[in-house]
Amino acid sequence: MPTSPRPRSRIQQRNRELILDAALEVFSLHGFRGATLDQIAEVAGLSKPNLLYYFGSKEVVHQALLTGLLDTWLDPLRAMNPAGEPMREIMGYVRRKLDLARDFPRESRLFANEVLQGAPRMRDAIEGDLRSLVHDKAAVLSRWMDEGRIARVDPVHLIFSIWALTQHYADFDVQVRAVLGPGHDPFAEAERFLETLYARLLTPVP
């Protein structure tokens, strides 16, 4: 009765959201094995059996979080327009990806945990959707390079670099803030730095 795409009551909807939010908090900090249902239930403000009434098992909660996460994560890349102005499109992608890291650090860490541990629950998605989208967009970047509109560089590693540089500020937030010290806005500084970096890397030289 409780499963399937049926309409849910307001309370049900509300509790599912409470649980998913709590689970995101805990899974993103401890990984799948390190997280416990006790912690999640406590953060959600529910009893453990009640949590398990909504989601049949720990696995189900985790899977519910991963489903859709990859899409959210790839949307900024998907939005890169092949018909647009190259420099503007790439900078837009960098900015959107950095915004995601700033506004959804827990999602970033959940993803990082998953990949760090060998992506046991995301392998298919990574080898499928993610891989083909990257190659699709790499082809676009390659074309722009052929046309001399941006400087030549390995397009796939260019995409890797954007992932690495933006997600670093979410995943290693603790380290970044410890080094910078108080009175800094890591993401604002990162935006300026990345703008400079990609301008110098990609501005074509005649």
Partner DNA sequence: GTCTATACTCTGATAGAC
Partner DNA sequence: GTCTATCAGAGTATAGAC
Binding interface with DNA (CB under 7 A): 8-9, 11-12, 15, 35-38, 46-50, 52-54, 56-59
Which one, 46 or 94, has the nearer CB to DNA? 46
Residue 15 or 113: the one with the smaller Cβ distance to its own copies is 113
Find the shortest distance in angstroms from Cβ 6 to DNA.
10
Those residues whose C-beta lies under 8 Å from the C-beta of residue 149, and which sit 6 or more positions away, are: 86, 87, 204
The one-letter amino acid code at 117 reads Q
Q: Please give the residue ranges that form the binding site for its own copies (CB under 8 A).
A: 29-35, 109, 112-113, 115-119, 123, 126-127, 130-131, 134-135, 151, 153-154, 156-158, 160-161, 163-165, 167-169, 171-172, 174-176, 178-181, 189-190, 192-193, 196-197, 200-201
By beta-carbon proximity to its own copies, the closer residue of 45 and 160 is 160
Q: Return the structure tokens found at 64.
A: 């519910």
Given its own copies, DNA, none, residue 164, with its beta carbon under 5 to 8 Å by kind, binds its own copies
Please report how the helices 69-78 and 105-116 are oriented relative to each other, as an axis angle in degrees rounded to 10: 110
Q: What is the DSSP string of 8-52?
A: --HHHHHHHHHHHHHHHHHHHHHHHHH--HHHHHHHHTS-HHHHH
| Residue 79's binding partner out of DNA, its own copies, none, with CB under 5 to 8 Å set by partner kind | none
The residue (of 19 and 170) whose beta carbon lies closer to its own copies is 170
The whole-angstrom separation of Cα 26 and Cα 40 is 6
CB of 15 or CB of 166, closer to DNA: 15
Residue 185 neighbours by CB distance under 10 Å: 10
For residue 136, give the amino acid letter: D
| Minimum CB distance to its own copies, residue 201 (Å) | 5
